[in-house]
Structure 1
């Protein structure tokens, strides 16, 4: 971990800083969700990890221990349900530090971590980062608001259209050591349409 980055659980004293940061980043509409997450955190339903870069709020990640997504719920797979990194820290290691911490917590309790990622173009970098970390599609297709889409179904394409991915704990360290580099390259080629 970078000595500039501090990771910790959210507390009630963080709200002023989070509200200001969310407004600056254009995330205002999501503040109510985070207040609800905070209530869930107190009940043990989720964990909220804050990243600070020195004194600045740099990012936040939510682990939902009881996913609403059917496949994860049935298999008791915790879901990384929200991750945000402040724009000015996007090129730093904040994203990886948050993901490392989330996976460490998940793999202490479960064998598999899950994540749902929007298919909107704005999230394409997240797809690549997750593939590089060893996540693969869970094989259930595309979902919108936790409902599986059927072939030929007409929908409005927005950020709620998601693909869910999983990572097994035997890959939790491997991606750093290059042990699954070949697998990463195959999935990357599939993603880019080369295979």
Structure 2
């Protein structure tokens, strides 16, 4: 399905051929994103478990985001709000509005099911750009503090500043 097409940018549902493009794209920037991850996303899209929204810029696969119908873990797990999970724009395509357009489309899809959308973001510097973008887009922390390995981190608790240390956000879709 095509969600947006203009100015060299195409936002659409994931195609199976995107798997190899993403594996290569992430490898070129030194990240290990295995093909199995994208194959799983594609299957879950086919099975109606997850929406996978892909950005193509001037014919090149540039980024993606996934949307679950409801949060599986965290403070919103029992609320039934859609959750944005695993949002990435390849470094060579950043700072062109691609991430914001992916988020526009994803939020519109979430609004079809709920007045709220949720997400979690990592706390280390690698997530800094995403943290800033989410705040600028109107996402606010849910107030449950940081979570570590799918559990709220107790005050003064021990953790590592890795991808498992996250903060949950929510946005009202008006």
TM-score, normalised to structure 2, is: 0.91
Structure 1 residue 70 displacement after superposition: 3.3
Equivalent position of 1:21 in the other structure: 25
Match of 1:78 among 57, 82, 88: 82
Q: Give the SS at the match of 1:126.
A: helix
Equivalent position of 1:123 in the other structure: 127
Conserved? CA contact 2:118–2:170, under 8 Å: yes
Structure 1 residue 31 displacement after superposition: 3.6
Q: Give the SS at the match of 2:65.
A: strand
Q: State the distance in 1 between where 2:129 and 2:16 align.
A: 31
- Say which is worse superposed, 97-106 or 144-153, in terms of deviation: 144-153
Equivalent position of 1:61 in the other structure: 65
Q: State the distance in 2 between where 1:164 and 1:61 align.
A: 17
Structure 2: segments with no counterpart, 5+ residues: none
Equivalent position of 1:173 in the other structure: none
- Say which is worse superposed, 135-144 or 61-70, in terms of deviation: 61-70
Structure 1: segments with no counterpart, 5+ residues: 171-195
Superposition map of 1:178-193 within 5 A: none
Superposition map of 1:1-195 within 5 A: 2-170=6-174
Which structure dedicates a bigger proportion of its chain to strand? 2
Conserved? CA contact 1:106–1:113, under 8 Å: yes
Q: Give the SS at the match of 2:41.
A: helix
Distance of aligned partners of 1:50 and 1:89 in 2 relative to their CA distance in 1, 3 Å threshold: same
Structure 1 residue 126 displacement after superposition: 1.2
Q: Give the SS at the match of 1:70.
A: coil
What root-mean-square deviation, in Å, do the aligned CA atoms of Structure 1 and Structure 2 show? 1.5
Q: Give the SS at the match of 1:84.
A: strand
Q: After the TM superposition, which segments of 4 or more aligned residues of structure 1 sit over 4 Å from their partners?
A: none
Equivalent position of 1:189 in the other structure: none
Q: Show CA shifts across 1:124-172 (max 9, x none).
A: 12111111101000111111221111012111221220001000012xx
Of the two, which has the highest radius of gyration? Answer: 1
Q: Give the SS at the match of 1:80.
A: strand
Which structure dedicates a bigger proportion of its chain to helix? 1
